[in-house]
Amino acid sequence: MTTHIEGGWVVAFNGTTHEVYEQGSLVFEGDKITHAGPAYTGPADTTISAKGKLVSPGFINTHVHTAGNAGDYLLLDMARNDYRTANYMSFAAPLKGTMTPPPAAAVAALRTFTFLHAMRNGTTTIIDVGGLRGDYDGYARLVDDLGVRVYGGPPFRDRDTYMDAQGRLTYDENVAVGRERLEEAVDFVKNYDKSAQGRLRGLLNAAQVETCTERLLREGKDAARQLDVPIHTHAGGNLVEFQRIMDEHRTTPIRFLADIGFLDERTLIGHGVFTTAHPWTHYPFGDDVKTLAERGATIGHCPYKYAKMAMTLHSFQRYVNAGVTVAIGTDTYPMDMLGELRWASILAKTTDGNYQAGQPRDVFNAATLGGCRFIERDDLGRLAPGARADILVIDLDRLGSLVYHDPIKALIDAGSGRDIDTVIVDGKTLVQGGRLTRVDEEAVYARAREAVRHYWDAVPKWRWDGAAVERIIPPAFPVHRRH
């Protein structure tokens, strides 16, 4: 069946760059685009009006944690001072032996919520950089049922993080457990890669650079090469990690990964904030940004999450100008890719003290083309004949937006996930009129809310000091809850 989207601003790809057509057309047949650009006059089975809307390639969200971060988001406001920006320790370093895996129903509820929340906010390809392990058949069924496109796999590491009774961070190394987890990740790829009608693809996830021994990182990269899949790790994410790698390997996390052969064009680095370029590291020896560019690795930049922690890349524009492939991710909530583009642009300007940094062109490219390199997909992140029909239709002409001259600049300046009218993945409409087409939104939210509240209620059981959420993170104003 041929579908023609007409009358809107169409962001077409000419083989080199995006270009915008006023009152343009996009035509797709099945799961492939057949025309993108000027007005189309040929036949079509279905015609959709996009008047007053932007027809955009779907975004590649390079940093999503399915299930793992749904309940954790609340805790990002309470990272201890001695975590030194390692905010994930707020929920990933319990007292040893006190945190039990969530029940299967909670895992399914949070996975569903995360997938749909990301998709509803403009993500058509989700890079799952480490959710909860278990029920992989259910994971694959969920991808198939919901219609999303996902690259993912269970995380592996051989150093687990815990707190002792005094709240001091400890790393518990177990090489045998790490190897078992890597084998589990490899088996996931072998069993599920190209399932869900080809929309679920394998990705190896070495959890964090400091929670993996050098041996495990080397073995993980070797496995990725043998399986012909990309690999991800968190690196340059916080100062605890930076100092641990400096102490253990006498070099920066990025340089260490380069030295052991981990960095290449099929590597995604989550964050990459703390490098020789960042003033907080006080380590101006070498050039991590140049290393990233030379090795071809992709940086998954999550601007809003880091802005919440008073941090950012130094800088987005510096990385781009140096030839580093920069992509965009959300990491935590809200998974609003349009909001992330605005944060990426503004933070680039303020970091560099240069209003010409963080141009809309560069951040839009990061959210589309930038996420495609490490997964080797030249049929995603663009609207062109032969590309996959992964499409967003975004409402621009309304009072809540602005009167604009350039629709891309208007999108970056004023757009939000609430402006997304239609989401199409592989030619199938998953969001229409701002509503999900395959599920009951209210039921999905209710199940996720119940799962998250159970998680919050359990916090005192695994915190070293037994503190409850209300004490750890006092509400903005007194809250009188109904019981």
Q: What is the pLDDT of residue 301?
A: 98
Q: Does domain 2-57+384-436 have CATH number 2.30.40.10?
A: yes
Rounded-to-integer distance, Cα 242 and Cα 462, Å: 26
CB-based contact 427:85 (threshold 8 Å): no
Which pairs with CB-CB distance under 8 Å and at least 24 residues apart come from 68-72? 68/130, 68/131, 68/132, 69/114, 69/331, 69/332, 69/333, 70/110, 70/113, 70/114, 70/333, 70/448, 70/451, 70/452, 71/110, 71/451, 71/452, 71/455, 71/456, 72/332
CB-based contact 417:334 (threshold 8 Å): yes
Q: What is the pLDDT of residue 86?
A: 63
User: Global pTM?
Assistant: 0.95
Cα 278-245-465 angle, rounded to 5 deg: 95
CB-based contact 60:371 (threshold 8 Å): yes
Q: What is the pLDDT of residue 103?
A: 84
Q: What is the pLDDT of residue 400?
A: 66
Q: What is the pLDDT of residue 122?
A: 96
Rounded-to-integer distance, Cα 366 and Cα 230, Å: 18
Q: What is the pLDDT of residue 133?
A: 83
pLDDT tens digits in sequence order for the chain, 483 residues long: 999 999 999 999 999 999 999 999 999 999 999 999 999 999 999 999 999 999 999 999 999 998 766 555 555 555 566 666 666 666 677 888 787 778 888 889 999 999 999 999 999 999 999 877 889 999 999 999 999 999 999 999 999 999 888 888 889 999 999 999 999 999 999 999 999 999 999 999 999 999 999 999 999 999 999 999 999 999 999 999 999 999 999 999 999 999 999 999 999 999 999 999 999 999 999 999 999 999 999 999 999 999 988 899 999 999 999 999 999 999 988 899 999 999 999 999 999 999 999 999 999 999 999 999 999 999 999 999 999 999 999 999 875 667 889 999 999 999 999 999 999 999 999 999 999 999 999 999 999 989 888 888 888 888 888 888 888 778 889 989 887
Sequence-ordered list of residues with C-beta below 8 angstroms from that of 141, at least 6 positions apart, any chain = none
Per-residue three-class SS string for the chain:
CEEEEEEEEEEEECCCCEEEEEEEEEEEECCEEEEEECCCCCCCCEEEECCCEEEEECEEEEEECCCCCCCCHHHHHHCCHHHCCCCCHHHHCCECCCCCCCCHHHHHHHHHHHHHHHHHCCEEEEEECCCCCCCHHHHHHHHHHHCCEEEECCEECCEEEEECCCCCEEEEECHHHHHHHHHHHHHHHHHHCCECCCCEEECEEEEEHHHCCHHHHHHHHHHHHHHCCCEEEEECCCHHHHHHHHHHHCCCHHHHHHHCCCCCCCEEEEECCCCCCCHHHCCCCCCHHHHHHHHCCEEEECHHHHHHCCCCCCCHHHHHHCCCEEEECCECCCCCHHHHHHHHHHHHHHHHCCCCCCCHHHHHHHHCHHHCCCCCCCCCCCCCCCCECCEEEEECCCCCCCCCCCHHHHHHHHCCHHHEEEEEECCEEEEECCEECCCCHHHHHHHHHHHHHHHHHCHHHHCCCCCCHHHHCCCCCCCCCCC
Burial of 126 (0-12, 13-18, 19+ CB in 10 A): buried
CB-based contact 122:337 (threshold 8 Å): yes
Sequence-ordered list of residues with C-beta below 8 angstroms from that of 455, at least 6 positions apart, any chain = 71, 102, 106
Q: What is the pLDDT of residue 98?
A: 80
Rounded-to-integer distance, Cα 272 and Cα 322, Å: 14
- Domain range 59-371, CATH architecture: Alpha-Beta Barrel (3.20)
Domain ranges of the chain: 2-57+384-436, 59-371
Rounded-to-integer distance, Cα 198 and Cα 196, Å: 5
Q: Is the dihedral of CA 394, 397, 400, 404 positive or negative?
A: positive
Pairing, β 200-202 against β 149-152: parallel
CB-based contact 44:4 (threshold 8 Å): yes
Q: Is the peptide bond before 279 cis (omega within 30 degrees of 0)?
A: no
Beta bridge partners of 480: none
Rounded-to-integer distance, Cα 420 and Cα 422, Å: 6
51, 274, 281, 319, 320 from 284: Cα distances, Å: 52, 12, 8, 16, 19
